[in-house]
Chain A
């Protein structure tokens, strides 16, 4: 679904050269949930922006659903951003003056879908995220967790090939994080391809695959298959 070869993104030059993404190879299969984990400044957000066509690589090759996008025209890239990928951000980035349902239908209207179709789809998505009764609320009238769920619904509006999420639980408390994780799990079950960059171990632990990133490069890859050496009871101090 997603393929990167020798992907680089540099800023500055000479002494102030920053290799934000440094020769990264990446393959993400359709339906896979991938977490990229690393400390702030490791380049994971830059990587996500490259993958979604929000930023252009300094070097390397990048394919989204078999389509090479690193050489693509600005117009082609805009089309990919509009309907090929859905973005979720740490700070939600909802439009303050639009209601929940209007925020979700916005990308549909931008993709020139008829207003009625757009509204129907937005209402259906709101229902799926359990916020049907909040349709006419402004973002300021929603909790952080609810705002993030609306933002996820917005990302899903145009049925993107890939959802890219940047620290989606960074501003959320435990309960709201659980709700976002439940929603991601449902997306995963529905076959959605999902790439999340995060330093939240809870997301990383529930992903299919986990990549650790430092100084712009991948340093480790883990599939958390197999059982633990203990049971849940042992974790709670119930045994032994």
Chain B
């Protein structure tokens, strides 16, 4: 779990680890299923060492013995503020796939169109999974918006694969066919 995410969750109020986990699950819906609960505690431990959170003790009950409660320090708050202002964005690695097609064609290792087809099937399977998850969410669930983002992104990637297929199909057919197509 990304450190900044947990810090930002703690900005609302000091919390137990299990409360953070519950808020993450609600925000992520089915996507959070892959989340490893232990990661939250590992990350909180690291943040404590870095001086960005401090750990207190909440009085326990018979069912729940006393538990750690995590709170942001000034340094932690500073880091949250910086994170909110950041404009970094996950990079789609299109260059790698593009180079794969070029290299495969140049060395006659594989048919680029077949590579595109295989890739499209894989992306369609991912789109199917994301779409099914989106269909199962209610309109007002927080996770629905995240799923929509995943679906839109996969659609954009699939459109690019269509462009790849068009280009490589016409290259395969030779320059003559290409000429005819543009005339």
Report if A and B associate in a common complex.
Answer: yes
Q: Which residues of A contact B (CB under 8 A)?
A: 39, 174-175, 178, 181-182, 185, 201-202, 204-206, 210, 220, 222, 224, 226-239
A-B contacts besides A233-B34, A236-B28, 14 pairs, CB < 8 Å = A175-B139, A185-B135, A205-B127, A220-B117, A222-B121, A226-B125, A227-B125, A228-B125, A230-B126, A232-B31, A232-B130, A233-B31, A234-B34, A235-B130
Whether B129 and A232, one on each chain, are in contact in the complex, defined by CB atoms closer than 8 angstroms, is yes
Whether B126 and A228, one on each chain, are in contact in the complex, defined by CB atoms closer than 8 angstroms, is yes
Number of B interface residues, CB 8 Å? 34
Answer whether residue B8 sits at the interface, using C-beta atoms and an 8 A cutoff: no
Residue of B34, B117, B122 near A232 (CB, 8 A) is: B34
Closest A residue, CB atoms, query B144: A178
Whether A224 and B128, one on each chain, are in contact in the complex, defined by CB atoms closer than 8 angstroms, is yes
A227 to B139, CA, bound (A): 26
Whether B135 and A181, one on each chain, are in contact in the complex, defined by CB atoms closer than 8 angstroms, is yes
Answer whether residue B46 sits at the interface, using C-beta atoms and an 8 A cutoff: no
Interface majority SS (helix, strand, loop, mixed), chain B: helix
Contact A201 to B139, CB < 8 A, known contacts A232-B31, A233-B32, A237-B90: no
Whether B131 and A206, one on each chain, are in contact in the complex, defined by CB atoms closer than 8 angstroms, is yes
Q: Which 3 A-B pairs have the closest CB atoms?
A: A233-B34, A205-B127, A205-B128
A61 to B125, CA, bound (A): 33
Whether A210 and B124, one on each chain, are in contact in the complex, defined by CB atoms closer than 8 angstroms, is yes
Answer whether residue B105 sits at the interface, using C-beta atoms and an 8 A cutoff: no
Whether A201 and B31, one on each chain, are in contact in the complex, defined by CB atoms closer than 8 angstroms, is no
Which residues of A lie under 8 Å from residue B33 when comparing CB positions? 231-233
Answer whether residue B9 sits at the interface, using C-beta atoms and an 8 A cutoff: no
CB distance from B61 to the nearest CB of A (A): 33
Q: What mask results when residues 136 to 177 of chain B are scored 1 for a CB within 8 Å of chain A, else 0?
A: 000100000010111110110010001000000000000000
Closest B residue, CB atoms, query A226: B125
Which residues of B lie under 8 Å from residue A174 when comparing CB positions? 148, 151-152
Closest A residue, CB atoms, query B158: A201
Whether B122 and A202, one on each chain, are in contact in the complex, defined by CB atoms closer than 8 angstroms, is no
Answer whether residue B35 sits at the interface, using C-beta atoms and an 8 A cutoff: yes
Answer whether residue B40 sits at the interface, using C-beta atoms and an 8 A cutoff: no
Which residues of B lie under 8 Å from residue A232 when comparing CB positions? 30-31, 33-34, 129-130, 133, 150
Whether B155 and A236, one on each chain, are in contact in the complex, defined by CB atoms closer than 8 angstroms, is no
Residue of B34, B125, B128 near A239 (CB, 8 A) is: B34
Whether A224 and B150, one on each chain, are in contact in the complex, defined by CB atoms closer than 8 angstroms, is no
Closest B residue, CB atoms, query A237: B90
Whether A238 and B150, one on each chain, are in contact in the complex, defined by CB atoms closer than 8 angstroms, is no
Residue of B131, B146, B158 near A236 (CB, 8 A) is: B146
Closest B residue, CB atoms, query A200: B155
B window 85-126: CB within 8 A of A: 90, 117, 121-122, 124-126
Closest A residue, CB atoms, query B159: A201
Answer whether residue B134 sits at the interface, using C-beta atoms and an 8 A cutoff: yes
Contact A202 to B127, CB < 8 A, known contacts A185-B135, A236-B146, A238-B28: yes
Q: List 6 A-B contacts (CB under 8 A).
A: A174-B148, A174-B151, A201-B124, A227-B125, A227-B129, A232-B130
Whether A204 and B124, one on each chain, are in contact in the complex, defined by CB atoms closer than 8 angstroms, is yes
